A and B are shown apart, each in its own frame.
Chain A
Amino acid sequence: MILAIASGKGGTGKTTISLAIAYFLNKRKKSLSIFDCDVEEPNVNLFLNSDIKVTETVYIPVPTVNEEKCNGCGKCEDICKFNAVVLVKGKPLIFPDICHSCGGCKLVCPTGAMNEEVKEIGKLEEGYFENIRYIGGTLKIGEAISPPLINSVKKHIIENEINIIDAPPGTTCPVVESIKGCDYLVLVTEPTPFGLHDLKLSVGMARELELNFGVVINKSDIGDSKVAEYCNAEKIDILAEIPNSLELARGYASGNFMNVFLDNFSDKVERIISKTGIGV
């Protein structure tokens, strides 16, 4: 079972919900894995504090050109949809930063002038805390393309076990890479105009990907009732509504909110678990 936690708007509580579920299951002696797919700013292990046991470096292939073999035909430029290869005065100029590593330019080159070299894009780490296995990725500073690293994080998913994915915010490629293939998607939002606007984008993404999904409304007693009205009108399950809590904010700021969450909102986590089917 793979449960992914995502949100359109950032800062709505993805990591909070992910870790609350992980801690709840941990206390019930269930073993599980949690994946931090927000590789641009990972934060799961800031709270989990697991001992990092393994690190591995992740590389992607990028093209290089052998100018002596190049006949200047421009097929490499034509096939690249990201403008990473451009023919300048008959010779290919390559921009590895925006290359998506599809290998197309090498494939179409008639003279074998295109080769590939590897480029580091980030690191993977793995750690353990009680019954929780943590896998996370950290994108190398300056890199713009994170999906291959997210894909490497997800290769550690163990089918038929409990897997929780903490996705990055938004609805862009890194989010799609993080949530695709999940069995259930939890969209965390807050009852504000910004929260509603971005929830609608997330719902569009979830429907396009044909995922089962439901909504958690965090800080549910602030803002207005429009998120709940939208969910009802669209027949979207509201899995839980979690009230604004100063105690929880204090716990978050001190780096250990998980026990505070379970002391106060254990029933909410139980409801999310029963609705999503994770760990049951």
Chain B
Amino acid sequence: MKIAISAQGNGPDSEMDPRFGRAKCFLLFDSDTKEYKEISNSQNLQSSSGAGIQAAKAVIDNGAEILISGNVGPKAFSTLDSAGVKIFLSEAGSVRSVIDCYLKGELKSANGANVEGHW
């Protein structure tokens, strides 16, 4: 199973990024191989609109089934939801520790956007 998480750096020890659409980047964790892969989000950092939509698309196209972030807005939620990606929320922590929390079932899932657009 592939788990995407918004991150402030490109390794498992970097902090989770609480932003989704304008996150620094995403890390894709494969729970079978235990490997991390970086997904760039650089083009969305400067995007005037639809950053959450494009970030969601990148997560979907990389085959993630689970997304973990701090906050997800309405358009990103709709995009992820349309592809069946499940969203879990965390407040802070390193990528590795947040994923550990998820694997232990400690993160709550989001049933809808938890922030307004342009949060």
Contacts and interface: CB of A to CB of B under 8 A. Distances in A.
Interface string B64-76: 0000000000010
Interface stretch (B34-42, B46-54, B100-108): B46-54
A84 B51 CA distance: 11
A86 B83 contact: no
A97 B48 CA distance: 14
A88 B79 contact: yes
B109 interface: no
Contacts of B83: 88-89
A86 B60 CA distance: 11
Interface SS of chain A: helix, strand, loop or mixed?
mixed
A83 B60 contact: no
Given A82-B49, A83-B49, A98-B49, A93 B82 contact: yes
Kindly name the residue among B48, B50, B60 whose own CB sees the greatest number of chain A CB atoms within 10 A.
Answer: B50
Nearest to A87: B57
A151 to B, nearest CB: 20
B94 interface: no
B78 interface: yes
Nearest to B52: A83
Contacts of B47: 83
A194 interface: no
A84 B56 CA distance: 13
Contacts of B79: 86, 88, 93
7 contacts: A82-B49, A83-B50, A86-B79, A89-B83, A93-B78, A95-B78, A97-B75
Given A83-B50, A86-B53, 20 more contacts: A82-B50, A83-B47, A83-B49, A83-B51, A83-B53, A84-B50, A86-B54, A86-B56, A86-B79, A87-B57, A88-B79, A88-B83, A89-B60, A89-B83, A93-B78, A93-B79, A95-B50, A95-B78, A97-B75, A98-B75
